[in-house]
Amino acid sequence: MSSRDFLKLSRRGALALGAGGLLATGMRSLEAAAETPIESSNQRAPATEFQLGEFKVYALLDGTFIAEHPQDTFGMEQTSEVFEKASQDHFISSNKFRGFFTPVLVNTGDKLVLFDTGRGVLSQPQSGNLLKALATAGIRPADIDVVVLTHMHADHTGGLMQNGVPTFANAKYVTSPIEFNYWEKLGPAANGSARVFAENVLPLKDKFDFIDPGREVVPGITAVEAYGHTPGHMAYLVEANGRKLMLTADTANHFVWSLAYPDWRVVFDIDKARAAETRRRIFGMIAEERIPFIGYHMPFPAMGFVEAEGEGFRFVPATYQLQLGLEDEQNRPE
């Protein structure tokens, strides 16, 4: 399926789904997992620049953490033997994992568009370092023109406010109406993400533009339906000068357990079956078209490619392809 066909399906899917059709299952587990101790790491540069045609793209390291018992999150329905073998086959531990929070900035030459805002000041110093990463890229908060929220989990909305004051004073905000309505109806007492939504997102409601899949945020950035992780979770296709990059947000939350095994249920996904279908659909398209993607929780700088392998996908980290601006020519088959 091409990305153009994919965008057409996204438009139809937006009309077919209402926020009330999904159950808020897994939210208690989500909040419990968020309480796992987080460790800081200064081993990575906080901002990495890529070139996509005329656009500049920055992966911004908001933070990183180490957590135990990953099977409880990523392999909840697998036996310990299956999970351990899958981990060993990919040279990673089955007992611990490292996670990352990576917002993305796209400079189109006309607009500065920020995707997600990290965990915010309450998580510092382990995370909540988005503003430091922006400074590394030479960007001030007041410079941001558009803030796109892929969905409303707290690790994406935590940086919207600083002591009750909007962090990005001159920005407008963009998200899915399905996503916004779901969290607004849920109420702040439901879980930690709902509380952060009430504190950080709801006060900005009048500054939001609500867009459906297939609509452009700005020229060259198009919303893509990626429902399942949350009711209105969306990915974004970035296109410049014939080159493409998919921002997959939380479509896949781990480079092995979510990509090599896309049907495995993930505790963070509200609609687990739909999230699995979305993973197959989106990463199937990415693999078919051989385009790069940035995943919010992929190993920093969070950019890579995927190829179909076995029952899932193999993650191939990007190296210098987008620094050269030659990703399409170098990776398209003869």
Domains assigned to the chain? 3-20+38-328 (3.60.15.10)
Mean pLDDT of 280-307: 97
State whether residue 56 is helix, strand or coil.
strand
Mean pLDDT of 226-232: 99
Number of Cβ within 10 Å of residue 163's Cβ equals 6
CA-wise closest residue to 119 among 172, 72, 156, 68: 156
pLDDT of residue 128: 87
Using the structure block, give the residue that is written with the tokens 């040279």: 91
Percent of the residues in the chain that have a pLDDT greater than 90, as a whole number: 77
Mean pLDDT of 121-132: 79
Instruction: Report the distance separating Cα 71 and Cα 27, nearest Å.
Output: 17
pLDDT of residue 123: 66
What is the rounded average pLDDT for all residues in the chain?
86
* Cα-based distances in Å from 78 to 68, 211, 255, 260, 313: 17, 37, 17, 14, 18
Please determine, for residue 9, whether its predicted confidence score (pLDDT) is greater than 60. Answer: no
